[in-house]
């Protein structure tokens, strides 16, 4: 993103699918000449719901420092069953898959099962991005 006020830098406009909302309250600094951005949503991720009722977000740590991966995506198929889609590089190994599996279990608990699927590419949404975490678990109206 480029700034609105910088006349030396061209503002590039293209559709990336990110969402923003104006704030309803003025800036705490007292500035009133420009509108205040209240919320910015970039990459959307679903919340993972576990059998014990916990709700977990930010599972990107599962893929940290794995040099053999081009991309990774976590799909929750049921409360206990997860599929991890990976796009492997030539350096990807069984050890990388086991690190992913063990990190998922450490983060989410020993009751889960993890299937690793190797793909040529992770399917993209209409905005050209892929969702990093998808939960297919039905939530009750209160959850």
143 residues of the chain, pLDDT tens digit each: 555 566 665 555 555 556 677 888 888 888 878 888 777 665 557 899 999 999 998 898 899 999 999 999 999 999 999 999 999 999 999 999 999 999 999 999 999 999 999 999 999 988 788 889 999 998 765 54
Handedness of CA 138, 104, 42, 53 (dihedral sign): positive
pLDDT of residue 87: 98
The span from the CA of 113 to the CA of 92, in Å, is 21
- 68: Cβ–Cβ under 8 A, 6 or more apart, which residues? 88, 89, 91, 92, 93, 96
The span from the CA of 122 to the CA of 86, in Å, is 8
Annotated domain spans of the chain: 48-135
The closest alpha carbon to 101, from 89, 87, 90, 117, belongs to 117
Query: How many Cβ atoms from other residues are within 10 Å of residue 47's Cβ?
Result: 15
Report pLDDT digits (tens) over 80-113: 999 999 999 999 999 999 999 999 999 999 999 9
* Element of type H or E holding 107: helix 94-108
pTM tops 0.75, yes or no: no
Answer CATH for 48-135 from 3.40.50.300, 3.30.300.30, 3.40.50.620, 2.40.110.10 = 3.30.300.30
């Amino acid at each position: 993103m480029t700034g609105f006020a910088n006349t030396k830098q061209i503002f590039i406009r293209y559709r990336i699918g990110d969402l923003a909302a104006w704030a309803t309250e003025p800036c705490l600094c007292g500035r009133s000449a420009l509108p205040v951005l209240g919320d910015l949503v970039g990459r959307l991720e679903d919340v993972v719901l576990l059998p014990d009722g916990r709700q977990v977000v930010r599972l990107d740590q599962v893929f940290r420092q794995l040099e053999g991966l081009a991309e990774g995506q976590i799909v929750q198929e049921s409360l206990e069953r997860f599929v991890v889609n990976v796009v492997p590089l030539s350096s990807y190994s069984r050890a990388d898959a086991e690190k992913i599996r063990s990190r998922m279990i450490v983060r989410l608990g020993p009751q889960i099962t993890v299937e690793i699927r190797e793909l040529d590419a992770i399917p993209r949404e209409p905005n050209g991005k892929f969702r990093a975490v998808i939960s297919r678990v039905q939530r009750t109206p209160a959850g």
